[in-house]
């Protein structure tokens, strides 16, 4: 199995842009998925297949991927975006791996 | 309304066993692969196990292989996780989840807490 690496924390002021990175060898061949998790709640997908945004997720959330890295970008960060964010990708077949998570703090 | 409801968690001694259940409703359960994901207290998400729509193919993380078994009963719309030889490091909230098309884990239950301690 392999690992996905995320920064433990990212801090931004309201209205600024937050970028959360995820790196791992398999990302060059597999899609990246991003989840938001607020305290006491189950995770919620905010980006799937690298760049796709589920219905109901605000347009300020976007995803990108290049080589062995993927990035979740939140434009115009709002206080409600403060949460833990996890990237996810397939390992092999139907096995999965999650990144260690990034705590987004809105200053 | 699509819903996943986990149950069966609790306190168990090291070396003990527990069976978790996940009752599904609001969708055609027998058409979708299902998964278990866990989260230790204050820690990140860890994929545990997945099973295909029919139950004929299963996958387990290396950390639980040989100790945990995922299964399903499509007649009861229920997913299971049999956990044997439990260790302290298995202490976590266990979520069941599935993808209805995005490839991601779109729908999650509320989770059930498993505590392994003497």
Give chain B's mean pLDDT.
97
How many CB atoms lie under 10 A from the CB of residue B35?
Answer: 25
Q: What is the pLDDT of residues B31-55, one digit of tens each?
A: 999 999 999 999 999 999 999 999 9
Partners of residue B35 in chain A, C-beta under 8 Å: 96
Model pLDDT, residue A26: 87
**Nearest-CA residue of chain B relative to A101?**
B44
Q: Does B62 touch chain A (CB under 8 A)?
A: yes
Size of interface A-B (CB pairs under 8 A): 65
A94/B52 CB distance under 8 A: yes
Condensed to tens digits (0 to 9), the pLDDT of residues A96-106 reads 999 999 999 99
Residue burial A79-101, b: 16+ Cβ < 10 Å; e: rest? eebbbbbbbbbbbeebbbbbbbb
The pLDDT of residue B45: 98
Q: Check residue A81 and report its DSSP letter.
A: G
* Separation in Å, CA of B46 to nearest CA in chain A: 6
Q: For all residues of chain A together, what is the average pLDDT?
A: 96
- What pLDDT is stored for residue A47 in this prediction? 98
Tell me the average pLDDT across A23-34: 94
What average pLDDT does this structure show over A22-38? 95
- Given a cut of 90, whether residue A67 has pLDDT beyond it is yes
* Model pLDDT, residue B63: 97
Which pLDDT does position A8 carry in this prediction? Answer: 98
Percent of chain B with pLDDT over 70: 100
> Are A15 and A76 spatial neighbours (Cβ–Cβ below 8 Å)?
yes
């Amino acid at each position: 199995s392999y690992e996905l690496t995320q920064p433990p924390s990212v801090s931004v002021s309201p209205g600024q842009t937050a970028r959360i990175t995820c790196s791992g060898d398999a990302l060059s061949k597999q899609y990246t998925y991003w989840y938001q998790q607020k305290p006491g709640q189950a995770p919620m997908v905010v980006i799937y297949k690298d760049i796709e945004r589920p219905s109901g997720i605000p347009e300020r959330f976007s995803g990108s991927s290049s080589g062995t890295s993927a990035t979740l970008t939140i434009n115009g960060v709002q206080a409600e975006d403060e949460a833990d964010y996890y990237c996810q990708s397939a390992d092999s077949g139907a096995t999965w791996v999650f990144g260690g998570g990034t705590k987004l703090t809105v200053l | 309304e699509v819903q996943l409801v986990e149950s069966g968690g609790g306190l168990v001694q090291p070396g003990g066993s527990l069976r978790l259940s996940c009752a599904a409703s609001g969708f055609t359960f027998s058409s979708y692969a299902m998964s278990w994901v866990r989260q230790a207290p204050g820690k990140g998400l860890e994929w545990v196990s997945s099973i295909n729509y029919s139950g004929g193919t299963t996958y387990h993380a290396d950390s639980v292989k040989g100790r945990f078994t995922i299964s399903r009963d499509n007649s009861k719309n229920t997913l299971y996780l049999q956990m044997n030889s439990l260790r302290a490091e298995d202490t976590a909230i266990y979520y069941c989840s599935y993808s209805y098309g995005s490839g991601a884990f779109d729908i999650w239950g509320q989770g059930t807490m498993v505590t392994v301690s003497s």
